Amino acid sequence: MARVDLNNLSIEFGAFKAVKDVNLSINDGEFVVYLGPSGCGKTTTLRAVAGLQNVTRGDVLFDGKRVNEMSASERNIAMVFQFVSLYPHLNVAENIVFPLKARGMARAEIARKLEWVVDIFGLGNELKRHPASLPPGTTQKVALARAVVREPAVLLLDEPLSAIDEQFREEMRWELGHLQRQLGVTTIYVTHDQREAMSLADRIVLMNDGEIVQVADPHQIFFDPETEFAGQFIGSPSMNFVDLEPVAGGFRLGGSEALLPGDAVPEAVQRAGVPIRMGVRPRDVRITDAAGGLRVDLPVDDTFSVGRERFFTFRLGEEIAQGVVRGARTRVDDQPITLFTEGLVFFDARNGNRIRTTGAAQ
């Protein structure tokens, strides 16, 4: 296994800057997920780690050794892509051991490694089948088994589950996390799917426009976003945002008539001397008359359900906001909207950066 360091990594295609001065250290055995919208630079970064993409500036290091000029085969990495390319004329066992045979490994050692990896991936009943007869989830497991059978220092996964139907994807997410913990291999995973990132990662590297926005574990990146983009991209539904307008007695919420008391905004935020934009996740906006929150006198527009959860929408001036309906019997037309202050976060409205009051996650 290996520690991976990216030092001032930049990748440019002519005038286009795909990756901009990225710095990151990935620990030996860690499962790191690169998350972000399409075109943000996450796959380009992965390809640079793999040796498939030239670096414009900066360094890629494995265990402290610079590998910029080393080929992919010299780096001892394995990579699995979105669309699996198994050899159709070979059965599962032959596909798995193909890279070992290509290296000229002894038969006894190949047999030992095949037994080891088949046991880990639970493929004992599939060894004589051919790829065309396998369900999508099993096909991906065979590709992963082929990747790890030669015990790479780093495992690189580029959207490996996105081509699998949703009914198989949930199971594969669990399997993949379980397998990585068993193998203990340093893993870098690229996805635009936040559910995958939140369920798999030891740490999430959130990227946008070629830059790292935030690096944190799933809990922290959800509850303690560093930027407005992080709050918007993580969470479904995403965080609500509204500009705060200073008025006598507090802050007006956007262009609405709702007023936020002055003491609901920490003094450190008020002293920052910048336009303030408040964020609050739907889970902290509820229809309830329970104590412990701030009542907002605004009408509810509509309700909708996502799975077992029920949400409501309301307007903050021109902004459409969302909250959570707690309890199946809750009536939305006779209860006040309540903001729970422990969920309020504040950003500089000019650049979207967090205005810090403490260093701790909420």
Q: Kindly tell me if the per-residue pLDDT of 331 is higher than 70.
A: no
When pLDDT is averaged across residues 123-148 and rounded to a whole number, the result is: 90
Is residue 190 in a domain? yes
The model's pTM: 0.90
Structure token pair of residue 265: 């905004």
pLDDT at 247 over 50: yes
Cα–Cα distance, 260 to 188 (Å, whole number):
43
- Read off the tokens for 36: 């972000």
What whole-number distance in Å separates Cα of residue 115 and Cα of residue 98? 14
For 319, the domain range is 237-348
Beta bridge partners of 59: 7
Rounded CA-CA distance 219/204 in Å is: 10
* Residue 195 CB contacts under 8 Å (≥ 6 apart), including other chains: 173
Confidence at residue 361, expressed as pLDDT on a 0 to 100 scale: 44
> Two tokens at 270?
């008020």
Is 354 a member of any domain?
A: no
Query: Average pLDDT for residues 295-314, to the nearest whole number?
Result: 85
28-46 average pLDDT score: 96
pLDDT tens for each residue of 90-103 = 999 999 999 999 98
Whether residues 27 and 172 share a domain: the answer is: yes
In a domain, 132, yes or no: yes
The number of domains in the chain is 2
> Do the domain assignments include residue 360?
no
Residues 148 and 109 in one domain: yes
User: Considering only 128-132, 328-332, 338-342, which range has the smallest mean pLDDT?
Assistant: 328-332
Per the CB < 8 A criterion, the answer to whether 189 and 177 are in contact is no
How far apart are the C-alpha atoms of 31 and 285, rounded to whole Å?
33
Rg (alpha carbons) of the chain, rounded to whole number: 25
279 and 228 in contact (C-beta within 8 Å)? Answer: yes
353 within domain boundaries: no
Q: What is the mean pLDDT of residues 124-128?
A: 93
User: How many CA atoms, within 13 angstroms, populate the side-chain half-sphere of residue 303?
Assistant: 13
Q: Averaged over 288-305, what is the pLDDT?
A: 80
Mean pLDDT of 147-171: 85
Q: Same domain for 205 and 161?
A: yes
217, 224 contact by CB (below 8 A): no
Which phi and psi (to 5°) does residue 306 adopt? -125, 105
How far, in Å, CA of 343 to CA of 240, rounded? 11
Residues 58 and 196 in one domain: yes
Average pLDDT over residues 164-181: 82
Residues 204 and 330 reside in one and the same domain:
no
The pLDDT value given to residue 290: 65
* 359 found inside a domain: no
Given 201, 228, 255, which residue is the final one in a domain?
228
Output the domain CATH number for residue 108: 3.40.50.300
Q: Which residue type does 134 have?
A: L
Bigger pLDDT: 150 or 292? 150
40-54 pLDDT, tens per residue?
A: 999 999 999 999 999
